[in-house]
Structure 1
């Protein structure tokens, strides 16, 4: 067996890479806001955003009120939601792969997306189209995801008494199947074709419902999870060497896994509730970043969040721009782009989970 050594970024290269990614993220936000049914020059977008952020102290000669409304009230919330969702799903993917020590684990491995879809579709199909709004659908999705998380945790960990990842994943798969069946049943019996179409569109993800008021809750959850995860980064590094070794090194494996599961469930639920199920980001992005920085979770978390945000912003631009004025569900774009790239990644002979050397 021939081993090929993977060269990871040095500290200097890492800092340079993060700086470049931050600049790319800012540029991608400005460009994504500029692109739409009505094109707005990036310079006008930049001036409008600075004008709003400085409360009118800078760029007082900015665009007219209609252009300002398009930028600030419609496009910018959508782009920022995409960045938040991409960063959050990438972070959740890292946590799930660490907890399960499974390279194909992703945020939805516990069935949270199926539970959220079931909750949202139940609100859409069982409610009146005239009374059901984005807030009701979001709440239904959030409650569905939380209920799924509680069931998986209770069954998969026996209320915290076991840390078996196999039992946890199998419980998630079983519960996901049940909720998927209920979702399909609700769509099938829906008497209104518009309801069924809305439900199907929601299950493959969309950023179309983005508003400033719905950004705050997932943003707060993301910040909390990010901070806690940074503090636990050393423990995450140790978990990858195995539960037995981690216990010998003084890590409370059961407590750490339970905490990570709770954090992942909370963040994933908050994101799915406002965007629907957007796949592949939590699977592909962490693997891309491991080829660059290895399994150092402090670097991995920051890098994955930035790349995840940029990736989803770009995917949303493609979803809006490929077949105008038709808007594709963003989950289709992430799957079509992420799937082939992931196949290429795993076909590399020098790649393995955690960024270690392999044949």
Structure 2
């Protein structure tokens, strides 16, 4: 009798999870079409759908839809931007799940190791010191990526004593210290900017934007995102056990040093690749995992899948608001994610039945 009840309960959970996957996938598709349609030049959703199908099937379906300018706006400008939003939203949400699990800290996020501060310092250094005029806009991305990697390596080396130990407290404190140092250097660079345009560009980058999206920059973060998702799903059972505590994990045969090292390296690499392109977009890695825990509980396999979908939807919708609130001025997307995410996070905290582990 008990086995039958457990079987029915498990089946019900699987059906509920499948429902959320289908529902969120449909919402994501709708959000993508809406984000492409909305802009300084409004394009009908039906035309967006047909142009995308035409391009994706190389003209086999709906060939020569719309005029050339409309097709270029959709395919060359707005679609790469929306895809970057989906990749970045999903990636930051997954990194948030991983960091919260490893640190067992409900307020941990992808930037807890100072990666965003390192990226900001690298990007601002390129902007202020004149690297943009010499090497082009891609030099900002390169500078940000190098800065984030330096930050990540320093935190990992100091916080883990070159991999000898995985102390959560030491790791977090190292991240805070490195973040403070890079933030100070960033502010110093902005203060020393020769003109207001440099300072404005630097400040705009530090709060995030999807404006640098183009087809050429999507490949690397896409590949890294897929690899991290696969690794996370493979290790999902170990991540579930880590929440029980390090001692319990060791008793159950989990190599916590190896698991935590893999998670930290994966999250650092993915966050570095994303921040290098978009800048520091806050609150996604903090809020989205908590939203998804109300549905998936502490099951990391489900949590990772749901977080990737919700993170993508959340960032694309935030970008729609950032572009459409005060047209033609574009508001830095980090401001929008914070304005939406902050109150929602407070709502979750105020819920009497909410806890870090979620539903079991």
Shorter-chain TM-score: what band? over 0.9
2:291 maps to what in 1? 288
- Pick the aligned partner of 1:84 from 78, 82, 87: 87
Task: Indicate whether 1:176 and 2:185 are aligned.
Answer: no
Tell me which of the two structures has the higher relative contact order, counting C-alpha pairs closer than 8 angstroms and 6 or more residues apart: 1
Matched positions, count: 351
1:258 maps to what in 2? 261
What are structure 2's unaligned runs of at least 5 residues?
A: 1-8
What does 1:224-303 correspond to in 2, within 5 Å?
A: 224-303=227-306
1:100-152 C-alpha deviation (Å, 9 max, x unpaired): 00000000000000000000000111125533422100010000000000000
Which 10-residue stretch deviates more, 129-138 or 339-348?
129-138
Contact 2:295–2:359 (CA<8 Å) still a contact in 1? no
What does 1:26-65 correspond to in 2, within 5 Å?
A: 26-65=29-68
Contact 1:239–1:246 (CA<8 Å) still a contact in 2? yes
What does 1:1-359 correspond to in 2, within 5 Å?
A: 10-356=13-359
Taking structure 2 as the reference length, the TM-score comes to 0.96
Contact 1:129–1:195 (CA<8 Å) still a contact in 2? no
- Alpha-carbon distance between aligned partners in 1 of 2:210 and 2:321, rounded to the nearest angstrom: 12
- Alpha-carbon distance between aligned partners in 2 of 1:63 and 1:306, rounded to the nearest angstrom: 30
- Alpha-carbon distance between aligned partners in 2 of 1:132 and 1:347, rounded to the nearest angstrom: 49
- Alpha-carbon distance between aligned partners in 2 of 1:314 and 1:129, rounded to the nearest angstrom: 30
1:276-301 C-alpha deviation (Å, 9 max, x unpaired): 00000000000000011100000000
Secondary structure at the counterpart of residue 130 of structure 1: helix
- Alpha-carbon distance between aligned partners in 1 of 2:342 and 2:63, rounded to the nearest angstrom: 46
- Alpha-carbon distance between aligned partners in 2 of 1:61 and 1:81, rounded to the nearest angstrom: 26
1:213-246 C-alpha deviation (Å, 9 max, x unpaired): 0000000000000001110000000000000000
- Alpha-carbon distance between aligned partners in 2 of 1:308 and 1:338, rounded to the nearest angstrom: 11
- Alpha-carbon distance between aligned partners in 1 of 2:133 and 2:271, rounded to the nearest angstrom: 29
Query: 4+ runs of 1 displaced by more than 3 Å?
Result: none
Contact 1:123–1:132 (CA<8 Å) still a contact in 2? no
Give the Å deviation of 1:356: 4.8
- Alpha-carbon distance between aligned partners in 2 of 1:242 and 1:130, rounded to the nearest angstrom: 51
- Alpha-carbon distance between aligned partners in 2 of 1:135 and 1:129, rounded to the nearest angstrom: 8
Secondary structure at the counterpart of residue 131 of structure 1: helix
Secondary structure at the counterpart of residue 37 of structure 1: coil
